Amino acid sequence: MIRFILIQNRAGKTRLAKWYMQFDDDEKQKLIEEVHAVVTVRDAKHTNFVEFRNFKIIYRRYAGLYFCICVDVSDNNLAYLEAIHNFVEVLNEYFHNVCELDLVFNFYKVYTVVDEMFLAGEIRETSQTKVLKQLLMLQSLE
Amino acid sequence: MPAVSKGDGMRGLAVFISDIRNCKSKEAEIKRINKELANIRSKFKGDKALDGYSKKKYVCKLLFIFLLGHDIDFGHMEAVNLLSSNKYTEKQIGYLFISVLVNSNSELIRLINNAIKNDLASRNPTFMCLALHCIANVGSREMGEAFAADIPRILVAGDSMDSVKQSAALCLLRLYKASPDLVPMGEWTARVVHLLNDQHMGVVTAAVSLITCLCKKNPDDFKTCISLAVSRLSRIVSSASTDLQDYTYYFVPAPWLSVKLLRLLQCYPPPEDAAVKGRLVECLETVLNKAQEPPKSKKVQHSNAKNAILFETISLIIHYDSEPNLLVRACNQLGQFLQHRETNLRYLALESMCTLASSEFSHEAVKTHIDTVINALKTERDVSVRQRAADLLYAMCDRSNAKQIVSEMLRYLETADYAIREEIVLKVAILAEKYAVDYSWYVDTILNLIRIAGDYVSEEVWYRVLQIVTNRDDVQGYAAKTVFEALQAPACHENMVKVGGYILGEFGNLIAGDPRSSPPVQFSLLHSKFHLCSVATRALLLSTYIKFINLFPETKATIQGVLRAGSQLRNADVELQQRAVEYLTLSSVASTDVLATVLEEMPPFPERESSILAKLKRKKGPGAASSLDDGRRDASSNDINGGVEPTPSTVSTPSPSADLLGLRAAPPPAAATAPASAGNLLVDVFSDGPAAQPSLGPTPEEAFLSELEPPAPESPMGLLADPAPASDPGPEDIGPPIPEADELLNKFVCKNNGVLFENQLLQIGVKSEFRQNLGRMYLFYGNKTSVQFQNFSPTVVHPGDLQTQLAVQTKRVAAQVDGGAQVQQVLNIECLRDFLTPPLLSLRFRYGGAPQSLTLKLPVTINKFFQPTEMAAQDFFQRWKQLSLPLQEAQKIFKANHPMDAEVTKAKLLGFGSALLDNVDPNPENFVGAGIIQTKALQVGCLLRLEPNAQAQMYRLTLRTSKEPVSRHLCELLAQQF
């Protein structure tokens, strides 16, 4: 299962942190820093997977943003790698060419997108069409 | 799709965010935030009632401030108010605030739960989903208690919308994981399984996750999911790339759902129904076939999605480990990936092949890729890929390729990253020992290790080479010659000096005939290193010197001169000084015969598990999954690969400062074996056994805890790893406990640690601790043979009503236990209410092909949950009188089975768990105790009195508790202890 999802920029600023298990605030901060440290030193020739504590991080870089998903060691790497991409494509469609600033100014909407696609640490919905239709519907509500 | 403009709807929020972004310094940011907080506070406190929009805006600003890392101590109430708005956007912000900033303020929880309840009942799917997401995100026990019963209903209700079902399924999953006891199984379970047939693929996607979790704890209840999952999978796999429309991702039909279904199937053995199995095998073949087809797209997304399914398919094939054809095909497929240009695929192929190497069907096929893997070790740029390559080489190693693999690993070691050197050293050491045909190769390999990576050669490794050389006389001469040559190097690692010193001290005589390595030459060579070494090494060398005096009388004068030197006799280090003084005196006063006896060659070490193997396992950390992998990796060395020669092994190792001669501790062999390396759990557990029996002193709780904590610094994460449920096979699967089970159980009534069981094959050690109504038990299964145990599965069974009285959660252990190896299992125990019978531990495994089974009683008795209570005499008698109903008292008069020693009796009573009260009983010979048994449901106060009668060699034991069966049970348990 997913333990947490992080979106960070190269400087280490967190653009989204979604936790699926209990951590206290200090621990969260520590995790955020550690993830940033392990992910940013890697280059394109490296794998998209890093062992991390008792888990592993599946990550992918889009421009200046690192999308990281922390999952159990036995979880399927490629499935989560593509789950990231699927998520990014939805964001891109929803925000119309998404950029880092969209995530900053609409942080509360990003959570909605996440909850549509991932819930309780599991993949909830994978169809981009369905997710976008739902988001659009919510958008139209007052 | 219309794009969302920046912060639309809440202009104030967008302005605030812009302001923060424009702050030039941290101070400016804090200033701006404080200004905003003051503003929001005044708005919330103001007389004018805020409209929903403003409330939403301010709550959202507070949330933003919190996410920036600042504390927020108000606004919770306003957020809760938003929950009852009938506008989606307001509700959404309210729920988001609660989900991110939840605190267990009981007043608020009640209000929040109330709002959730209303939304769940609203029949508005949008609101229902918001409420469900909130429960899933928070997942607290309070929410579990409030909603665990409602959600299954929503999930299976015919009129629930698809999106609501999706959310309900995962919401339930979260609650079940957080507090399984709150989620009642019922008629809904069958209907959940049928969600696998749902038309809406999103519902299936969510439901599979829920079922996968539930079936792990209740495999039988969910068995029907197998055939449904197979047919669903079959429909997906055989569909064309566009059939599934919305669920096709880069021409791959439903990749995530396929992966989830394949993972669900890995919870079960291969389907029993031939038709289902046939259909599944067809699916697996289809996936393997598709991997060979040309890609439908050049995009990496296409190949990733396709390969995600492929890797999960291979995992399932490995899990079944029963279809040779599929296993070999899987191996060939992975072989292709080993040379793929995508680093991800090479990495995953190496990882997956590691597990294939342990299957007897594919081991040979894996071995054919050895050159590619060696090449990966040499050329991969990503250290994690190289590490996987090293893992795979270790896994595929057997007698036929050991020399090649070991030499490649040694070569790799010279340039390996510091982070993984120690692990490589351990692996090389293990392989060299395991597959040594002639031990001269083994000795060369270890000395090479010390030469190349001396700093990373831990004590375990060099102790081990000493043990092996000591135990095998065919290699002693060679070892002496080799270390002598190695020591010639002008700069050699201190570990080399240690090994060299020890070996020459024992076997230097074997090469003394050669004038180039005559005794004086040996001595001066060693002594030339002496001054550069640490105290521990110098202490070891002093022992070598005294051994030389015995081996080579001609060196006596020189060595006595060295010992007599002021730098030794008056050395500031007390250990060195004492050795110098004692050795000097010994060499002067003892006759040759005495000297020869005292300084005799070390006796062979007792055979035990390789301490290196134990260390490698410890290094791997407490991660459940990695320990499972380990089991599989280690399994590569099992006997199908050509038989492993039983190798001498021992855990007991002399610590560097241990007195090699045993001058200060008699008898000599004990001195050599007793000082175990500190912190070695294995040693502690097993040395605890026989020694602990006579003396039942209080165990040093503190040290015990610190030892048992996982060694990794990241323990907070480790603790959160999901414990696997204690799956209960039906009673028909479990044999009756072995005849001596009761006797073994009795041994543990008054103590928590020791050897629970031992026969020729296996030893089971126990360490446990109990606090309040909770306990944690560590079981150590040691394979005493040199052959691997397979399908090793220990399970805990609750006979009769025990299920409702005692909860035991176990963690899975590796299915293979290597010869000489030991695996550990952790049990978390919760006493729910008083109980009389202990749980059973049922153990099954295959040894040399023959199934073995064993049922024991777990040493968990009601008295473990005792909390000692101190009280004054007056209170004691008052309570004693209160418990005067006939059934509250149990009494036994019995003959002493052991010598009647007051101290031993005291220790046993303390071990039993009650407090011992002095000056209560008028007769000082008598013992009086008090305690409370802590269970989740109730507490049982207990008073006890033991009256020994030394003349008659009898005891009278009286128990009074507030619960009749408990009195009787405690009385029986305790009476057997004296």
Residue A5: beta bridge partners? Answer: A18, A69
Write out the two tokens for B784: 């005493």
Provide φ and ψ at B758, rounded to 5°: -155, 135
N residues, chain A: 142
Do the chains contact at B136 and A120, CB–CB below 8 Å? yes
3-state secondary structure of B939: strand
pLDDT digits (tens, 9 = 90+) for B260-306: 999 999 999 999 999 999 999 999 999 999 999 999 999 999 999 99
Of A50, A55, A127, the CB nearest to B246: A127
R_g (Cα) of chain A, nearest Å: 15
Q: How confident is the model at residue B609 (pLDDT cuts 50, 70, 90)?
A: low
pLDDT at B236 over 50: yes
Spatial separation of the C-alpha atoms in residues B860 and B831, rounded to whole Å: 10
Residues 928 to 947 of B: which have CB under 8 A from any A CB?
A: none
Q: Is B125 helix (H, G, I), strand (E, B) or coil?
A: helix
For residue B656, give both structure tokens. 């560097």
Flag whether pLDDT at B536 surpasses 50: yes
Q: Inter-chain contact B623–A54, Cβ cutoff 8 Å?
A: yes
CB contact under 8 A, B720 and A142: no
Q: What angle do CA B634, B722, B136 make, to 5 degrees?
A: 145
Listed in order, strand segments (DSSP E) in B160-286 are 248-249, 252-253
Q: Span B213-242, mean pLDDT?
A: 92
B244 neighbors B254 (Cβ within 8 angstroms): yes
- The rounded distance, in Å, linking the Cα atoms of B785 and B852 is 14
Whether the per-residue pLDDT at B844 is higher than 50: the answer is yes
Is B11 one of the annotated binding-site residues?
yes
CB contact under 8 A, B1 and A77: no
CA distance B897 to B894: 9
Optimal mutation site among B98, B138, B163, interface A, most CBs of chain A within 10 A: B163
Residue A42: which domain range? Answer: 2-141
CATH number at residue A8: 3.30.450.60
pLDDT over 50 at A67, yes or no: yes
Beta strand extents in B704-761 (DSSP E only)? 754-758
- Asked if residues B358 and B635 have their Cβ atoms less than 8 Å apart, the reply is yes
pLDDT of residue B679: 34
* Element containing residue B855 per DSSP (H, E): strand B850-857
* Residue A83: closest C-alpha in chain B: B256
Put simply, the answer to whether A77 touches B96 (Cβ < 8 Å) is no
Helices then strands, each counted (H, E), chain B: 44, 16
Confidence bin at B680 (pLDDT 50/70/90):
very low
Residues 249-278 of B with CB under 8 A from A: 249, 254-257, 259-260, 263
Phi, psi dihedral angles at A5 (to 5 degrees):
-120, 135
Separation between Cα atoms, residue A67 and residue B576, nearest integer Å: 59
Please report which confidence band the pLDDT of residue B454 belongs to, taking 50, 70 and 90 as the band edges.
confident
Percent of chain B at pLDDT exceeding 90: 48
Q: Which residues touch B256 (CB under 8 Å, ≥6 apart)?
A: A79, A82, A83, A123, A126, B205, B249, B308
Span B747-782, pLDDT tens digits: 888 888 888 888 878 888 888 888 888 888 888 888
User: Percentage of chain B with pLDDT > 70?
Assistant: 87
B168-187 pLDDT tens trace: 999 999 999 999 999 988 88
β-strand pairing of B889-895 with B762-771: unpaired
Q: Six-digit token pair at B348?
A: 């995953």
Q: Which of A17, A78, A95 sits opposite B3 (nearest CB)?
A: A95
Distances (CA, A) of B726 to B217, B321, B729: 7, 24, 9
**B174, closest residue in chain A (CA to CA):** A120
pLDDT in tens, B374-391: 999 999 998 899 999 999
pLDDT score at B104: 62
At B628, the pLDDT band (50, 70, 90 cuts) reads: very low
Specify the 3-state DSSP secondary structure of B254: coil
SS3 label, residue B671: helix
CA-based nearest residue to B147, from B113, B112, B100? B113
Helix (H) or strand (E) holding A56: strand A55-62
Mean pLDDT to the nearest integer, B865-876? 84
Does B787 score more than 70 pLDDT?
A: yes
- Average pLDDT of every residue of chain B: 83
- CA distances to B253, B715, B828 from B810, rounded to whole Å, are 38, 18, 6
Interface membership of B718 toward A (CB under 8 Å): yes
Q: Is the model more confident about B878 or about B685? A: B878
Res B733: pLDDT:
57
pLDDT for residue B725: 39
3 state SS of B720:
helix
B870 vs A18, residue with greater confidence: A18
- Which position has the higher pLDDT, B641 or B444? B444
B584-606 mean pLDDT = 87
**CA B634-B640-B643 angle, 5° bins:** 90
Q: Which chain B residue's Cα is nearest to A46? A: B382
Q: What is the ipTM, given to two decimal places?
A: 0.98
For residue range B103-116, what is the model confidence (pLDDT) as tens digits? 666 678 899 999 99
- At residue B654 the predicted structure's pLDDT band, cuts being 50, 70 and 90, is very low
Question: Token pair for residue A91?
Answer: 């964001």
Give yes or no for A85 touching B (CB within 8 A): yes
Token code pair at residue B392: 């795979």
Closest residue in chain B to residue A77, using alpha carbons only:
B308
Residue B61 marked as a ligand binder: yes
Question: Which B residues in the span 324-343 are in contact with A, Cβ-Cβ below 8 Å?
Answer: 343
Is the pLDDT at B429 greater than 70, yes or no?
A: yes
Answer yes or no: is pLDDT of B818 > 90: no
Specify which residues B116 forms β-bridges with: none
Grade residue B744 by pLDDT with cuts at 50, 70 and 90: confident
Sign, Cα dihedral of B637, B639, B643, B647: positive
Cα radius of gyration (chain B)? 34
Instruction: Report which of B321, B229, B331, B242 is spatially closest to residue B279, judged by C-alpha positions.
Output: B229
Q: Is B305 on the interface with A (CB under 8 A)?
A: yes
**B205 in contact with chain A, both atoms CB, cutoff 8 A:** yes
Cα A2 to chain centroid, rounded: 10
Which residue in the set B202, B312, B718 is minimally distant from A125, CB to CB?
Answer: B202
Confidence (pLDDT) at B728: 41
Number of domains in chain A: 1
CB B868 within 8 A of CB B931: yes
Least CB–CB distance from B1: residue in A96, A102, A138: A96
- Distance (Å) from the alpha carbon of A10 to chain B's nearest alpha carbon: 17
Residue B347 contacts A where some CB pair is shorter than 8 Å: yes
Report the residue from A42, A72, A119 with minimal CB separation from B167: A119
| pLDDT at residue number B796 | 86
Give the closest-approach CA distance of B391 to chain A in angstroms. 14
Q: Is B14 on the interface with A (CB under 8 A)?
A: yes
- Can you give the pLDDT at residue B850? 77
What is the predicted pLDDT for the residue at B54? 93
CA-based nearest distance A139→chain B, Å:
9
Q: What is the dihedral of CA B464, B465, B469, B470, to 10 degrees?
A: -40
Alpha-carbon distance B712 to B669, whole Å? Answer: 35
- Reported as a pLDDT band with limits 50, 70 and 90, residue B622 is very low
The segment with the largest mean pLDDT, out of B8-22, B161-175, B640-654, B861-875, is: B161-175
Residue A102 or residue B610, greater confidence = A102
pLDDT surpassing 50 at residue B631: no
Name the closest residue on chain B to residue A43, using Cα atoms.
B382
In this predicted model, what pLDDT tens digit does every residue of B7-43 receive, in sequence order?
Answer: 457 899 999 999 999 999 999 999 999 999 999 999 9
Tokens of B258: 């396929």
Position B103 scores a pLDDT of: 65
**Look-up: residue for tokens 């990794």?**
B712
Residues of B in contact with A45 (CB under 8 A): 343, 381-382
Q: Could you tell me the end-to-end alpha-carbon distance of chain A, in angstroms, rounded to an integer? A: 34
pLDDT value for B8? 55
Question: What does DSSP say about strands B927-934 and B915-916: parallel, antiparallel, or unpaired?
Answer: antiparallel
Rounded CA-CA distance B833/B934 in Å is: 8
Give the pLDDT confidence of A5-64 residue by residue, as tens digits.
999 999 999 999 999 998 988 999 999 999 999 999 999 889 999 999 999 999 999 999
Cβ-nearest to A47 among B170, B246, B385? B385
pLDDT digits (tens, 9 = 90+) for B873-922: 888 888 888 887 777 888 888 888 888 888 888 888 888 888 888 878 88
Interface contact A78-B260, CB threshold 8 A? no
The mean pLDDT value for B223-246 works out to 91
B24 annotated among ligand-binding-site residues? no
Q: Kindly state whether A122 is in contact with chain B, defined as any CB-CB distance less than 8 angstroms.
A: yes
Q: Is B45 annotated as a binding residue?
A: no
Using the predicted structure, report yes or no on whether residue B196 has a pLDDT greater than 90. Answer: yes
Crossing angle of helices B52-67 and B26-45, in 10° steps, is 150
Q: Does B301 touch chain A (CB under 8 A)?
A: yes
Cα-based angle B609, B637, A74 (whole degrees, multiple of 5): 95
Q: pLDDT at residue A103 above 90?
A: yes
Cβ–Cβ of B716/A82 closer than 8 Å? no
Q: What does the pLDDT read at residue B600?
A: 87
What are the chain B neighbours of A106 within 8 Å (beta carbons)?
4, 6-7
